[in-house]
Amino acid sequence: AQSVTQLDSQVPVFEEAPVELRCNYSSSVSVYLFWYVQYPNQGLQLLLKYLSGSTLVKGINGFEAEFNKSQTSFHLRKPSVHISDTAEYFCAVSDQTGANNLFFGTGTRLTVIP
């Protein structure tokens, strides 16, 4: 079974400042890793995903994440945030060998302050 831990439930940050949203996972098998974003009153959208290869993954809207196998982490970063980045961010994992079922963390609420 897999599990995902997002240690920060809320992250306030000033506009144009950098941000890092933390994600750690636990699994007995190899996993794929994802970050999804949920804007107010919208469905979840995929930001980026790690399947294999380069551990640094770039996604939409200037976000990137780095897979660290030894630390079982997949932290999300953006060098300069905008007001429009205010949203809920979810880290998720799925089993590489099983079905494409996603297991989500509890989410991190990013609030960008003008």
Partner 1 sequence: EAGVVQSPRYKIIEKKQPVAFWCNPISGHNTLYWYRQNLGQGPELLIRYENEEAVDDSQLPKDRFSAERLKGVDSTLKIQPAELGDSAVYLCASSLEGRGGKLFFGSGTQLSVL
Q: What angle do CA 65, 14, 62 make, to 5 degrees?
A: 30
Give yes or no for residue 1 binding partner 1 (CB under 8 A): no
Q: Which is nearer to partner 1, 56 or 60 (CB)?
A: 60
What distance in Å separates the CA atoms of residue 56 and residue 22, rounded to the nearest whole number?
15
Which residues inside 56-85 make contact with partner 1, applying CB under 8 A? Answer: none
Give yes or no for residue 92 binding partner 1 (CB under 8 A): yes
Q: What angle do CA 58, 88, 72 make, to 5 degrees?
A: 55
Q: What angle do CA 103, 106, 111 make, to 5 degrees?
A: 130
Instruction: Please report how close the Cβ of residue 95 comes to partner 1 at its closest, in angstroms.
Output: 8
Q: Residue from 12, 26, 45, 55 that binds partner 1 (CB under 8 A)?
A: 45
Give yes or no for residue 46 binding partner 1 (CB under 8 A): yes
CB atoms within 10 A of CB 72: 16
Give yes or no for residue 102 binding partner 1 (CB under 8 A): yes
Q: Which residues bind partner 1 (CB under 8 A)?
A: 4, 9, 32, 36, 41-46, 49, 51, 90, 92, 94-107
